[in-house]
Structures are given as structure tokens and as C-alpha cells.
């Protein structure tokens, strides 16, 4: 333990500079974030992740946002355990028929103002699972979506650059 | 003491008919009397159930002989949709049979638990894989098993959990802090994968199966490729085989490192999560640089692999191995020196060896309770026959043992990666699968199965190709099917607060199980 702490102190942080803010995301968000919301949220966002049917690939990369290289929390972005504490729902997967109600209830439990980010190809389009009897559709087919992050799965840098856009829009009131 | 009966000897004695073009192991079509005789023999033998799946009018059971390393499939035609349940002698069959009932509308006669499993009453049809699916009916509310006694209360958890994990429902019956019973309810991420694959080309189906459980995408791609190649009697080029092994070991290391960090984090030892998270990231970045995708999705395909390892990639992997070896030593040291951490993991969530054998659970969960199986060793598939490697086991069966299995497997996989990079043959990456219909027998038709050791355990993929080389039926069986039920046993009599620790030490797949 002490050896590890000493090494960490001597080597300095491994955290990398953030990726550029996604311009695509900025454009998409421009319409959906109003002034009142900006004023209320300030420079921090609480994110509730909801797996609505993903293959867990997206979850792996969302987890990676918390590692020392990406260190999501330095930007004021953090994951919370309850939708009631959340400003953002980060939804992955095609919405399965069996998860549709759970997603709706999670969305209803999230206080206004709130945004929904559809993360990954399945969340954006249904991906390879589109058209299945067991899939209710894209995230957009179930709840309103403010931001789409494509990728299978989106890399941590893609996720970070889109979430930073959200933060920038939310705090530039 | 008489010598144990051989599986193939017994099956051949049942008077069944061997199916042509099923590889690499035999498949026998048996009648109901023979199926019942097989169930009777399972009651007294140590053969393990590898899988149980259906198609319209037929049910298939894959078995492995515990002694002789024999593998076989028994198939029972059941035109009336009824087949004798296997769950009385192999409890691991129970959820598989419930899934068959949901998907095909067939009846497992004698199945004690007839509740639906994957069907939550929310699909637009019933029995989606049956010849004529039914109208959706009103489904009665799901009844959890009752627990009787004074002072018991229920804790419902999920399907949406507090962390960044997959959805599923856990129903705890607790007496104060002690868990009297955990009952799982899964199926929330059922995406209809088996139906989606029907009629697809091999390439299209490959993209679907690569997304059955994202953390095992290489292992699923590998298993699917082997099954298709077995069906077509096709051998991919040697270099492709080695690259598959290399990617599979990178995937194993990345997942084990992530799990070690996450397990310790669930005991509030966050420094391990930070340390292992950084190591995992190194592996994923190396994978990205070598093969163009951090999780190496869609890289292993029937016929070969899509990406080559260039000399820079080889050098990168060599330096990754030399960086990870001392880092792993640090992880082991950090884990083993921290008494307050060991206090949480030792003696917690014990699974007995008896249960592990009865449920045929493999992978970390099996080996931590002394079930010494690893598909890389038996049945063995290329390239693993070229290497000696350590398959660690333990008797303890607790969270601590499952952490140790992971740490030792990372060490073993690092050796494998080093050896694979060093000795990799040169040559092509892909060879064309036979696609055209040949003389007499359609060249593109056949049935194949494969067992591949993913980081979680044995993945079974069974596939039938039609005359055009398209998927007639494909069944992937995730190792989680046989591990999830044991989590219910592991948490019993532990405290509720230790559930995340137990759950993470299993790390079963929801998506892989829910299909």
C-alpha cells in the first residue's frame, strides 16, 4: 500500500487532457437546453445511467470514464445512484419490451430540468437488434432524447467529448 | 468398483440414429424411451449438462462425459411439443426449460417450476420461435417463491440498479441483515437474438452474436466461427487461429483486471479500482492500436480474422506484457496485505463444490470451488494445443478464491500472450467459406458446435446452416446460465451488505443469459 502511494505521488497524475468538445453535440443541444435550465444547473451535472437492453459493451466504456485516464468527475460530471438525484439520463441499448416500463418509470422519477442522452448505436437506431419482436425500439421511441452519441460502443473519448458539450451548454447561461 | 460408463457407449446403445454432417462431436436422434433412459442414467452418472435448447418439434441436450472427455448431443423429436424434463436430474436445466417453454410453447413434462422466465408478458406475441406464434395473453403477476418465518421482510432490487450495470431483479428475503433467500428474476434484456439470427447470412449473424454479451465479444465471435467452421468442415489459416487466441487472452485479461478492481471497490477498497482500472485501460488501448477496436468487436469471424498484427503491434504487446507483470505483482501484494479487505472477502459467499458440480458451472465460479475444467484444455481448440498453461483451481469457493483465480489467470494469460506473439506463424488471415451448393450434398449445409472458454467460462454455440449457407438455427449458451443459480446459494446466510461483493465476484452476464 505505502509503496503504491509513494509511486503515485512521485509519478504524478496520469489523467489526460480532455478531448475537444463535440461540435455535433453542441449543435444538437442548442435547441434543447433553455436559459432557465442553464441557470439552475450551473457547472455540474449528475448522470443516472440506465441500461435499457444493451449487450453491456456500452457499460464497459462508460465505466472507463471513471478511470484515472479520463477522470470524469474533474469536470463536475458524476454518476448518481437514483434518478431522483439526476439531471441526465444516459441510456444504452435498444429498449427491450421487457425494459420499456422500467425506463419510462426511471424517466418519470427524474426531476425537471432533465436531459436524455442516447448512448451507442443500439440506443440511437436499434443497432443489430432493430426489428426484433422483443425490442420496443430506439430510446427516442420511448422517451424524448436530447443528444445522440453513436458508436459501438462509443469510446470513452467520444462519450467525454459529447458530455462536455452538454456541460458547456448547460453552464453557458 | 466398476469403471464408469462412457457417454458415447451409452448413447450408441440407445438405438439412436447418428446425424450426418454434425461436427465435431456426434449428434444422435433418439426416441422418447431412449431420452428417458438417458435421464435415468444422468441420475447416477457424473456427466454434465452443457446445454439444452429446442427448435420447432425437436429438443436437444448437449452432454459431456466427466471421465472420458467425450461430447455429444442427444435430440428428441417431439411433434406434440412435449418432452420429459431433465431438470429432475440436472437442476441447471430448469431455467433453460422455462426459456424453451416461453420461446417455443413446448412443455417440459415434470418441470417443477413452470413459471415463465424470459417472457414477461410484454412481447407483441407469445412463443415467438414456434411455427405459429400465439396472441399475447394476459399473464398473471409473477409470484416469487414464498419464505415463511417470523421477522422476515422482503427487499426488492431492480431491474434498474444503483450502479452502471445491467438490469435484472433480485428479491431478497432477509431476517434483519441475514439473507434467508435470494431469488433472481432475469429476462429484462431479452432481445430475441435467436430469432434475429434465423435466415441471416453467416456474416450478419456473426455481428449479432458478437453483441450477445459485449464483454465476451471475442469469445462469442470465436465460438461462432468454430461452430460454423465445424459445420462446413472448414479450416481457417494458422495465423488467423493464433490471432484469435491472442485476442481472446487480451479480452480475458482486460475483464479479469476490471473485475478484481470492481470486487475490491465493492468492499470500499477504491484504490484497487483505480489501479486495476488503469491497467485495464492499458490493455484496451493496446487492443485498439493492434486491432482497431478497444473491445475487438467483429474481429474474429468465420473463416479467419479481419485484422492482422503488424510488427509495431507485436512490439506493443510485448511491452504491455512486461509492464503488466510487475503491475500484477503490485495488485496481488496490495490485495494480500490488506487485512481489512481480506476480512470482507474471505469466507464470504461460499459456493460448495457439490453445487458447482451439480449445476455444471464452469469458469471462475467453478474453478474457485474445485471444478477443474477449462474448455481451452478439454475439449481443447486451436491454438491452445500448442501451449502449456496454468489453470488454477481452489477448494475454498468464497469471494477471496474467486479474486485469486482471476489474479492467477491474468498471470497465465500474460504468459500465453507472450508465447503467441513470439511464435506466431505467418500467412493469410482469411480463407473463403464454401458458399456454393455442391454436387449431391449441399456444400454450405451442416451442423456444428463449439465450446470456447470466455473469461466467464465455457460458451457453447450450436449452429445449423441451410443449403444456401444461411443460419437455419443458432443457439448460444452463455456460461452465466449455470452460474446465476449458484449466486442464490452463495448469498444465503450472508448479510445483505455483502451481496454486491458476492455478485461482482460472480459477474454473470445478464445480456448473454437473457438472449
Q: What is the ipTM of this complex?
A: 0.93
Question: Do A55 and B511 count as a contact with CB atoms less than 8 A apart?
Answer: yes
Minimal CA–CA distance to A45: which of A33, A27, A54?
A: A33
Asked if A52 reaches chain B (Cβ–Cβ under 8 Å), the answer is yes
- Give the mean model confidence (pLDDT) for residues B285-309: 96
Question: Which residues on A lie below 8 Å from B215 (Cβ)?
Answer: 56-57, 60
The CA distance from A82 to B268, in Å, is 19
Nearest to B122 among A53, A54, A98 (CB): A98
Please give the residue that has the higher pLDDT: either B468 or B282: B282
Nearest to A94 among B125, B167, B191 (CB): B191
Contacts of B494 (CB under 8 A, 6+ apart): B178, B179, B348, B349, B502
Residue A33 has pLDDT above 80, yes or no: no
Asked if A1 reaches chain B (Cβ–Cβ under 8 Å), the answer is yes
Q: What is the pLDDT of residue A42?
A: 64
Taking CA atoms, what residue in B is nearest to A8? Answer: B275
- Give the mean model confidence (pLDDT) for residues B433-455: 76
Q: What is the pLDDT of residue B444?
A: 64
Q: What is the pLDDT of residue B1?
A: 42
Nearest to A51 among B166, B196, B274 (CB): B166
Number of CB pairs, chain A paired with chain B, less than 8 A apart: 147
Q: What is the pLDDT of residue A155?
A: 95
Q: Which of A1, A3, A14, A51 to mutate to test the interface with B (most CBs of B within 10 A)?
A: A51
Q: Quote the minimal CA–CA distance from A35 to chain B in Å.
A: 30
Range of weakest confidence among A40-49, B103-112, B454-463: A40-49
Q: What is the pLDDT of residue B271?
A: 93
Sign of CA dihedral B504, B417, B294, B315: positive
Work out the widest C-alpha separation in chain B, in whole angstroms.
73
The CA distance from B37 to B19, in Å, is 20
Q: What is the pLDDT of residue A40?
A: 60
Question: Do A51 and B187 count as a contact with CB atoms less than 8 A apart?
Answer: no
The CA distance from B297 to B386, in Å, is 25
Q: Quote the minimal CA–CA distance from B212 to chain A in Å.
A: 6
Band of residue A38 on the pLDDT scale cut at 50, 70, 90: low
Q: Which of A50, A56, A155 to mutate to test the interface with B (most CBs of B within 10 A)?
A: A56
The CA distance from B381 to B457, in Å, is 15
**Mean pLDDT score of chain A, rounded to an integer?**
89
Nearest to B278 among A69, A96, A127 (CB): A69
* 3-state DSSP assignment of residue A149: strand
Q: What is the pLDDT of residue A167?
A: 82
Question: Do B215 and A56 count as a contact with CB atoms less than 8 A apart?
Answer: yes
Nearest to B281 among A69, A93, A102 (CB): A69
Contacts of B324 (CB under 8 A, 6+ apart): B253, B279, B282, B283, B410, B414
Cell of B183: 431469488
Residue-range domains of chain B with CATH: 7-109 (3.30.460.80), 193-513 (1.10.645.10)
Q: Quote the minimal CA–CA distance from B178 to chain A in Å.
A: 24
pLDDT in tens, B139-170: 889 999 988 888 899 999 989 988 899 999 99
The reported pTM is 0.95
**Mean pLDDT score of chain B, rounded to an integer?**
93
Nearest to A96 among B190, B271, B284 (CB): B190
Q: Quote the minimal CA–CA distance from A95 to chain B in Å.
A: 8
Asked if A50 reaches chain B (Cβ–Cβ under 8 Å), the answer is yes
Question: Do A55 and B214 count as a contact with CB atoms less than 8 A apart?
Answer: yes
Nearest to B214 among A60, A102, A129 (CB): A60
- Give the mean model confidence (pLDDT) for residues B54-64: 95
Asked if A6 reaches chain B (Cβ–Cβ under 8 Å), the answer is no
Q: What is the pLDDT of residue B441?
A: 54
Question: Which residues on A lie below 8 Å from B330 (Cβ)?
Answer: 3-4
Q: What is the 3-state secondary structure (H, E, C) of B151-215?
A: CCEEEEECCCCCCCCCCCEEEEEEECCEEEEEEEECCCCCCCHHHHHCCCCHHHHHHHHCCCCHH
Q: What is the pLDDT of residue A34?
A: 59
B14: left (phi over 0), alpha (psi -120 to 50) or beta: alpha
Whether omega for the bond prior to residue B192 falls within 30 degrees of 0, making it cis, is: no
Q: What is the pLDDT of residue A35?
A: 57
The number of CA neighbours under 13 Å toward the Cβ of A131 is 6
- Give the mean model confidence (pLDDT) for residues B342-361: 95
pLDDT in tens, B318-351: 999 999 999 999 999 999 999 999 999 999 999 9
Band of residue A173 on the pLDDT scale cut at 50, 70, 90: very low
Asked if A62 reaches chain B (Cβ–Cβ under 8 Å), the answer is yes
- Residue B470 CA: distances (Å) to CA of B48, B127, B312, B389, B466: 31, 23, 38, 37, 5
- Give the mean model confidence (pLDDT) for residues B463-487: 95
At residue B155, φ and ψ (nearest 5 deg) are: -125, 110
Please give the residue that has the higher pLDDT: either A33 or B269: B269
Band of residue A76 on the pLDDT scale cut at 50, 70, 90: confident
Band of residue A39 on the pLDDT scale cut at 50, 70, 90: low
The CA distance from A47 to A69, in Å, is 19
Range of weakest confidence among A32-46, A133-147, B29-43, B495-509: A32-46
Asked if A129 reaches chain B (Cβ–Cβ under 8 Å), the answer is yes
Cell of B23: 461436427
Question: Which residues on B lie below 8 Å from A1 (Cβ)?
Answer: 271, 334, 337-338
Q: Which of A6, A55, A60, A159 to mutate to test the interface with B (most CBs of B within 10 A)?
A: A55
The CA distance from B493 to B349, in Å, is 9
Rg (CA), chain B: 23
At residue B293, φ and ψ (nearest 5 deg) are: -155, 135
Band of residue B217 on the pLDDT scale cut at 50, 70, 90: very high
Amino acid at each position: 500500500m505505502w509503496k503504491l502511494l509513494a509511486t503515485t505521488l512521485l509519478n504524478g497524475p496520469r489523467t489526460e487532457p480532455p478531448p475537444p468538445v463535440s461540435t455535433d453535440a453542441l449543435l444538437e443541444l442548442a435547441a434543447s437546453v433553455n436559459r432557465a435550465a442553464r441557470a439552475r444547473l450551473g457547472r455540474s451535472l449528475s448522470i443516472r445511467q440506465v441500461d435499457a437492453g444493451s449487450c453491456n459493451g456500452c457499460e464497459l466504456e462508460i465505466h472507463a470514464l471513471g478511470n484515472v485516464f479520463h477522470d470524469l468527475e474533474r469536470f463536475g460530471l458524476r454518476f448518481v445512484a437514483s434518478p431522483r438525484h439526476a439531471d441526465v439520463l444516459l441510456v444504452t441499448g435498444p429498449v427491450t419490451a421487457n425494459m420499456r416500463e422500467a425506463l419510462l418509470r426511471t424517466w418519470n422519477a427524474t426531476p425537471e430540468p432533465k436531459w436524455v442522452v442516447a448512448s451507442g448505436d443500439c440506443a440511437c437506431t436499434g443497432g443489430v437488434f432493430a426489428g426484433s419482436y422483443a425490442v420496443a425500439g430506439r430510446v427516442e421511441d420511448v422517451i424524448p432524447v436530447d443528444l445522440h452519441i453513436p458508436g459501438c460502443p462509443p469510446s470513452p473519448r467520444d462519450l467525454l467529448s459529447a458530455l462536455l458539450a452538454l456541460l458547456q451548454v448547460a453552464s453557458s447561461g | 468398483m466398476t469403471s464408469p460408463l462412457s457417454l458415447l457407449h451409452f448413447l450408441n446403445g440407445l438405438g439412436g440414429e447418428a446425424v450426418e454432417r454434425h461436427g465435431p462431436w456426434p449428434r444422435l436422434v433418439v426416441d422418447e424411451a431412449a431420452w428417458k433412459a438417458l435421464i435415468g442414467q444422468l441420475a447416477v452418472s457424473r456427466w454434465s449438462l452443457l446445454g439444452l435448447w429446442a427448435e420447432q418439434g425437436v429438443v436437444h441436450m448437449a452432454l459431456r462425459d466427466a471421465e472420458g472427455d467425450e461430447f455429444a448431443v442427444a435430440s428428441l423429436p417431439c411433434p406434440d411439443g412435449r418432452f420429459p424434463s431433465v431438470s429432475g436430474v440436472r437442476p441447471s436445466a430448469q431455467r433453460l426449460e422455462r426459456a424453451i417453454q416461453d420461446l417455443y410453447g413446448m412443455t417440459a413434462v415434470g418441470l417443477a417450476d413452470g413459471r415463465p422466465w424470459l417472457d414477461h408478458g410484454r412481447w407483441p406475441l407469445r412463443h415467438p420461435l414456434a411455427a405459429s406464434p400465439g396472441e399475447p395473453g394476459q399473464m398473471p403477476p409473477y409470484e416469487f417463491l414464498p419464505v415463511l418465518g417470523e421477522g422476515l421482510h422482503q427487499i426488492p432490487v431492480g431491474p434498474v440498479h444503483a450502479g452502471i450495470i445491467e438490469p435484472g431483479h433480485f428479491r431478497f428475503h432477509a431476517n434483519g441483515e441475514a439473507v434467508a433467500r435470494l431469488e433472481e428474476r432475469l429476462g429484462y434484456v431479452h432481445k430475441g437474438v435467436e430469432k434475429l439470427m434465423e435466415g441471416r447470412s453467416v456474416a450478419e449473424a456473426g455481428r449479432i452474436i458478437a453483441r450477445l454479451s459485449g464483454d465476451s465479444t471475442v469469445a462469442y465471435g470465436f465460438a461462432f466461427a468454430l461452430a460454423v467452421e465445424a459445420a462446413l468442415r472448414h479450416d481457417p489459416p494458422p495465423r488467423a487461429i493464433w490471432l484469435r487466441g491472442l485476442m481472446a487472452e487480451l479480452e480475458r485479461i482486460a475483464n479479469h483486471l476490471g473485475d478484481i478492481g470492481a470486487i475490491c471497490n465493492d468492499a470500499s477498497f477504491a484504490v484497487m479500482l483505480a489501479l486495476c482500472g488503469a491497467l485495464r485501460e492499458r490493455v484496451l488501448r493496446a487492443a485498439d492500436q493492434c486491432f482497431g477496436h478497444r473491445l475487438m468487436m467483429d474481429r474474429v469471424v468465420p473463416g479467419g480474422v479481419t485484422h492482422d498484427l503488424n510488427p509495431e503491434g507485436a512490439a506493443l504487446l510485448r511491452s504491455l506484457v512486461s509492464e503488466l507483470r510487475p503491475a500484477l505483482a503490485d495488485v496481488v501484494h496490495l490485495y494480500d496485505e490488506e487485512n481489512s479487505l481480506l476480512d470482507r472477502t474471505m469466507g464470504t459467499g461460499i459456493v460448495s463444490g457439490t453445487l458447482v458440480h451439480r449445476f455444471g458451472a464452469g469458469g471462475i465460479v467453478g474453478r474457485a470451488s474445485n471444478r477443474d475444467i477449462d474448455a481451452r484444455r478439454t475439449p481443447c481448440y486451436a491454438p491452445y494445443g500448442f501451449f502449456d498453461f496454468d489453470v488454477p483451481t481452489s477448494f475454498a469457493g468464497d469471494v477471496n478464491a474467486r479474486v485469486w483465480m482471476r489474479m492467477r489467470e491474468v498471470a497465465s494469460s500474460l504468459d500465453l500472450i507472450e508465447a503467441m506473439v513470439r511464435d506466431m506463424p505467418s500467412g493469410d488471415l482469411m480463407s473463403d467459406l464454401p458458399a456454393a451448393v455442391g454436387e449431391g450434398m449441399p456444400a454450405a449445409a451442416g451442423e456444428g458446435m463449439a465450446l470456447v472458454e470466455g473469461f466467464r467460462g465455457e460458451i457453447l454455440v450450436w449452429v445449423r446452416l441451410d443449403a444456401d449457407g444461411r443460419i437455419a438455427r443458432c443457439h448460444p449458451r452463455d456460461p452465466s446460465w449455470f452460474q446465476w443459480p449458484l449466486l442464490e446459494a452463495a448469498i444465503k446466510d450472508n448479510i445483505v451488505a455483502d451481496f454486491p461483493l458476492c455478485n461482482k465476484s460472480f459477474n454473470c452476464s445478464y445480456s448473454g443469459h437473457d438472449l
